[in-house]
Structure 1
Amino acid sequence: MRLRGIHIEQILLAAMLLAALCWNLANASEIRQLRIETGATGTRAELQLDKAGAYKLIPLSNPERLAVDFPDSQLARGLAMPAAAGMVKAVRTGQPVPGTVRVVFDLAGAVKAIPTTIETAGTGYTLVLEWPGDRAPRMTAAVPSVPAKQEAAKPESASALPPASDPIAQIASQPMPAVAGTDASTRSPAPAPSPASDTLQPAPLPPPPRLPMQSGMRPLVVAIDAGHGGQDPGAHGLNGTREKDVTLAIARELARQINATPGLKAYLTRDSDVFIPLNLRARRASANKADIFLSIHADAAENRGARGSSVYVLSTRGASSQRARWLADKENAADVIGGERVRAADNTLTSVLLDLTQSGNMKASEDAAEHVLGGLKRVGNNHKPDVERANFAVLRTSDKMPAMLVETAFISNPDEEKRLTDPAFQRTLASAILDGVDRYFARQPPPGTLYAARAQANQSAQVTQAPAGMTGIGGAGGSP
């Protein structure tokens, strides 16, 4: 009888183990597709899964690799590995422990991946990995590249793919990678020499010192808001181009160039095709301690010949033109398309409070917008020669930082629609916007930043190297 009892227990235990195995197989996530592509923003890898699950990133060196472990997962039958592209030399899969799928990306260099994002769709989830600035086409001359030592990658802790995950929140919780690049603040051309005269002219001062980031300095955070997204496609071009896709591509390229500029760091309010209510975009930027807010859009008009770029800032006292008022009304309707309720500030008390909270930043926003408009003027024709003003909802909650809305070009113009989808033109636009941001911070550097240290060093150099008999700029000088 005892032997029979032991036999029954073994059968029950085996049945339980089999049931557990079947349950794990039934609930394991499946990796259905692997894709790699390269473009202006770098190399992008997409891993498509049928359901939510955990994952872990494991950076490895000598040689450079990035391993991604998926516990309780399996590969789809017949899954093919993608060909090498950009930064990725090869892709392999393995099983370090039973039930865990490991995907290994062999890399061409030590470039830290941008924090992962998760894109959701009706067919499942897509884990996105991006390596910035690698094997991408060279930028325009406005942003030359200077090689420097890359930052070493560190292992990341295990993450999860919850069904209601917020890709933007995940980006905000992780630091953006520091990518070596250009000292953009020294790009300004030297002033032309004054005409010859009978008086002795002082020798020209050397260029300001190129200071690197040092301990204790904080990077200036540039918040980039790609307009529209998700169920709000924005404007459409005649050939079917959607504004939400164009703005995301330009925003990603601008973020890449910003992260390649010492002293600056980019924050994207969205880095995937998701809808974010207008009143949350600048608030997310503020939560990530942004120093400036740029909302990127593509203009549209009934006149198919309209072309060029424009820059707008917030106005609580009416629009600067009928065109600006119409554009603000069009952009403010995005929340209606996205299913959000629009709460208009139409009573006197609300309008007064809004005006008070924004008044301190109006001048800073106008100054920054003038610099960005100037950068856009240097690369092409502007639709509006001056900064315009209107009551844009996306700018109303930006009371802690300078903010502007940039209409890059007209998607309703067939020629400009084609250019907006061209990576080279996207790089040019991003470079022009970055040039304006760089010039603004160089002239008004916040304390504790690399820009402030450069300004201080430049001022000290001018005083130290002033000719004998001169007390400095604006000081009294002796006879030559």
Structure 2
Amino acid sequence: MRLRGSHRKPAIAAAIGLVALALLPVKASEIRQLRIEAGPTGTRAELHLDKVGEYRLIPLSNPERLAVDFPDSHLARGLGLPGAAGLVKAVRTGQPVPGTVRVVFDLAGKVKAIPTTLDGAASGAVLVLEWPGDGPAAAQAVASAPASAAPSGSAAGSAPGAAPSDPIAAFAQHAPPASANPGPTSAAPVLAATSMPAPADDDAPAPADPPLPPPPRPALQAGMRPLVVAIDAGHGGQDPGAHGPGGTREKDVTLAIARELARQVNATPGLKAYLTRDSDVFIPLEYRARRASANKADIFISIHADAAENRGARGSSVYILSTRGASSQRARWLADKENAADVIGGARVRVADNTLTSVLLDLTQSGNMKASEDAAQHVLGGLKRVGNNHKPDIERANFAVLRTSDKMPAMLVETAFISNPEEEKRLTDPAFQRTLARAILDGVDTYFSRQPPPGTLYAARAQAAQSAQADVPVRSGIGGSR
């Protein structure tokens, strides 16, 4: 009996120890919050955890769902589940195996999610899932728009009450910037005021021919794809960016301007906005352009607010990537400052200064440099028309946020100097933010109008204008005879 008891005590102690270990959540991750938001760029889900941990994405079909498994995790006590939003119809949680939390998103369609893990340092970690596509605002706008008052951006030839083939039509009811859709200007009042009988003198000039009607502006048709404008609000999360004398943070200003620019882009037929971030989160620099590429962006614009020791410095500047040195000492200093955002945000910084890496980067970007330069020139021109520029020409430097944008023209826009007390106040003014956004959009619109990608509304407009010009009868002679 004594021998049997000596074996039983260690066994009982071991069993008690295993049960205690199973009940201890010390090493387990805790899911503290679930959030879902729907906006013009798609649907976004945020899963907040107390620390970085493993996760697995499991796409499921018939019906469409996305399951996310978190091994060695548990739900926070009293955790509430968000309601339906955008492409997410419902959210459920379960436990497929002991110790694993499963979060299931019921989806309205077959859309692949784009996962991004964001390290929140002391505050924990956030897993962000994005489903690109149009939020419910687009469908609601189309449904509420009367069929007889279809805007110019709606699909022509569609059945009454049917949704347009492209989501841009949903935003066409908003007034687009004047530069984006110039309407026909009638010269009738001027002709009526200056109309006089022709003089009898044969040498006198004959009255001018009436102005030609403007070329037709085709509406968005089925099969046309929208041009996606990727808008990157600089900094975010634990990286506040520069601070103004009054305490304004650059990350807040850039997000406000980016949202306003996205609103104006979505209100322009033929264009669609994608925001790399639509909340106060940190995104490593190299992932910003990659997220834009994953959403099939046609152009990438990173929004920032400049800062300098000289409080009198003012105005806007536009920068593009250079792999062969900076165009000025100021451009080199600014690139170093902006590239340090990853260090502030806690991301791992990759050193890319060896010869082979520089050559490969140069090769991948060489075909895109000219497009970036052309687009940046037009954006700079738009900014010049609304105020003074800090730099009269585009500048070049090795900006990390632009290095992975090899598939589209890309630029970094310094909207104004947040270090200037006067410009700091203007940057927080919604009216000034609208003006800046309109100027940037004006440059984007001009760039795509002059170099329209095929299969887009801009290409259809260019073709219509060319056809109208070919049909114009030749005018000759002093008297305007044909």
8 Å CA contact 2:41–2:273 kept in 1: the answer is no
Aligned to 1:126: 126
Aligned to 1:300: 307
Aligned to 1:310: 317
8 Å CA contact 1:220–1:263 kept in 2: the answer is yes
Instruction: Please state whether the residue corresponding to 2:171 is helix, strand or coil.
Output: coil
| Pairing of 1:7-406 with structure 2 (within 5 A) | 22=22, 30-34=30-34, 46-50=46-50, 52=53, 53-54=55-56, 75-79=75-79, 117-121=116-120, 122-128=122-128, 180-182=170-172, 187-190=181-184, 193=187, 196=191, 198-205=207-214, 207-212=216-221, 214-215=222-223, 217-228=224-235, 233-251=240-258, 254-255=261-262, 258=265, 261-266=268-273, 272-276=281-285, 290-314=297-321, 325-335=329-339, 338-339=342-343, 340=349, 363-377=370-384, 380-384=386-390, 386-394=392-400, 395=402, 401-406=408-413
RMSD of aligned Cα (Å)? 5.8
Question: How far apart are 1:273 and its partner, in Å?
Answer: 0.2
Aligned to 2:481: 479
Instruction: Please state whether the residue corresponding to 1:406 is helix, strand or coil.
Output: strand
For 2:373 and 2:432, how far apart are their aligned partners in 1? 26
For 2:61 and 2:305, how far apart are their aligned partners in 1? 38
Letter in 1 for 2:210: Q
8 Å CA contact 1:55–1:71 kept in 2: the answer is no
> When the two structures are superposed, what TM-score results if normalisation uses the length of structure 2?
0.61
For 1:129 and 1:352, how far apart are their aligned partners in 2? 34
**Bigger Rg, which one:** 2
Instruction: Please state whether the residue corresponding to 2:460 is helix, strand or coil.
Output: helix
For 1:367 and 1:228, how far apart are their aligned partners in 2? 26
> When the two structures are superposed, what TM-score results if normalisation uses the length of structure 1?
0.61
8 Å CA contact 2:306–2:417 kept in 1: the answer is yes
| Pairing of 1:441-456 with structure 2 (within 5 A) | 441-456=448-463
Question: How far apart are 1:407 and its partner, in Å?
Answer: 0.6
For 1:210 and 1:28, how far apart are their aligned partners in 2? 55
- How many residue pairs match? The answer is 415
Question: How far apart are 1:300 and its partner, in Å?
Answer: 0.9
8 Å CA contact 1:37–1:43 kept in 2: the answer is yes
For 1:145 and 1:21, how far apart are their aligned partners in 2? 66
Q: Could you say if the C-alpha distance between residues 313 and 54 of structure 1 is closer, same or farther in structure 2, counting changes exceeding 3 Å? A: closer
- The partner residue of 1:439 within 443, 446, 452 is 446
Instruction: Please state whether the residue corresponding to 1:479 is helix, strand or coil.
Output: coil
1:322-343, CA deviations, whole angstroms, 9 ceiling, x for partnerless residues?
Answer: xx53143222344456454665
Letter in 2 for 1:273: F
8 Å CA contact 2:228–2:273 kept in 1: the answer is yes
For 2:283 and 2:220, how far apart are their aligned partners in 1? 39
Question: How far apart are 1:374 and its partner, in Å?
Answer: 3.5
For 2:434 and 2:136, how far apart are their aligned partners in 1? 14
1:87-145, CA deviations, whole angstroms, 9 ceiling, x for partnerless residues?
Answer: 89x9987769898676889x9x99x9985654332443334467977779x9xxxxx99
For 1:398 and 1:300, how far apart are their aligned partners in 2? 25
Question: How far apart are 1:32 and its partner, in Å?
Answer: 2.0
Letter in 1 for 2:31: I
Question: How far apart are 1:50 and its partner, in Å?
Answer: 3.6
1:42-86, CA deviations, whole angstroms, 9 ceiling, x for partnerless residues?
Answer: 99764423464456789999xxx999876777542234578x999
Aligned to 1:167: none
Question: How far apart are 1:22 and its partner, in Å?
Answer: 4.7
Q: Could you say if the C-alpha distance between residues 119 and 57 of structure 1 is closer, same or farther in structure 2, counting changes exceeding 3 Å? A: farther
For 1:312 and 1:392, how far apart are their aligned partners in 2? 10
Unaligned ranges ≥5, structure 2: 1-11, 142-150, 156-161, 196-206, 344-348
Aligned to 1:172: none
